[in-house]
Chain A
Amino acid sequence: GAVVSQHPSWVICKSGTSVKIECRSLDFQATTMFWYRQFPKQSLMLMATSNEGSKATYEQGVEKDKFLINHASLTLSTLTVTSAHPEDSSFYICSAMGTVNQPQHFGDGTRLSIL
């Protein structure tokens, strides 16, 4: 089955640090990758949609300068949380999709804790 690897799984860092999260599709080419944020006991909120070789499309209310997304190849997308603050602490999950109208395949998530 389709496998998506997300790294790191857990990050604890000081306020003001920038944190990069990687999302890789291991056995298929992902034309589109998605980044979600999830608060405890809540659903997933889509942050942005990333297409290989083009700029990401951000959802309303998501700061593009705060959450930098790069999708440089068909198997890798990165999310960089710049100058992170405690309110950025959350569970971030990526997903990858090969073609439209097919299921998205999710990574295992990254728990980000900003002190």
Chain B
Amino acid sequence: SQQGEEDPQALSIQEGENATMNCSYKTSINNLQWYRQNSGRGLVHLILIRSNEREKHSGRLRVTLDTSKKSSSLLITASRAADTASYFCATDGGGKLIFGQGTELSVKP
């Protein structure tokens, strides 16, 4: 069963704007991961944040984790048309990943 809920389900922005996606989960976790999927392709790992971390950065990506609220957010700054993809959060509670429903991001040039 799916653990994560993501919102929004779809997001459309202009190039250069920031995109924020949110993820909520239900059970305790070891870490939370964000993945990107281009249409018809496999998933690309973006960032992993451990349960004892609150914020992590990687290039234009910023991830926050609030274990008290069981939620995480992914911020993509200065978006580009090439960022158009589906983004999934996934919680790791013991080796298995449970994926959220995903956010479909469209960045218009």
Closest to B47 in A: A103
Q: Given contacts A43-B88, A103-B48, are A34 and B97 in contact (CB under 8 A)? A: yes
Closest to B50 in A: A101
**Interface status of B40 (Cβ within 8 A of chain A):** yes
**Interface status of B43 (Cβ within 8 A of chain A):** yes
- Distance of A12 from chain B, by nearest CB (Å): 15
* Residues on B with beta carbons closer than 8 Å to the beta carbon of A46: 96-98
Residues B85-109 near A (CB distance < 8 A)? 88, 92, 95-102
Taking chain A's interface residues, is the majority helix, strand, or loop, or is none over half, making it mixed? strand
Contact of B97 among A6, A104, A109 (CB under 8 A): A104
* Residues on B with beta carbons closer than 8 Å to the beta carbon of A106: 35, 42-45
Q: Is the CB of B100 within 8 A of A43?
A: yes
* Residues on B with beta carbons closer than 8 Å to the beta carbon of A93: 42-43
Q: Is the CB of A109 within 8 A of B30?
A: no
**Interface status of B2 (Cβ within 8 A of chain A):** yes
* Residues on A with beta carbons closer than 8 Å to the beta carbon of B97: 34, 46, 95, 104
**Interface status of A56 (Cβ within 8 A of chain B):** no
**Interface status of A26 (Cβ within 8 A of chain B):** no
Q: Is the CB of A108 within 8 A of B31?
A: no
Residues A88-102 near B (CB distance < 8 A)? 91, 93, 95, 97, 100-102
Interface residues of B (CB under 8 A from A): 2, 30-31, 33, 35, 40-45, 48, 50, 88, 92, 95-102
A-B contact pairs, 29 of them (CB 8 A): A4-B42, A34-B96, A34-B97, A43-B100, A43-B101, A43-B102, A44-B88, A46-B96, A46-B97, A46-B98, A93-B42, A93-B43, A95-B43, A95-B97, A100-B95, A101-B30, A101-B92, A103-B48, A104-B33, A104-B45, A105-B45, A106-B35, A106-B42, A106-B43, A106-B44, A106-B45, A107-B42, A109-B42, A111-B40
Interface residues of A (CB under 8 A from B): 4, 6, 32, 34, 42-46, 49, 91, 93, 95, 97, 100-109, 111
In the A-B complex, list the 5 residue pairs whose CB atoms are closest, starting with the nearest.
A106-B42, A106-B43, A103-B45, A108-B42, A43-B99
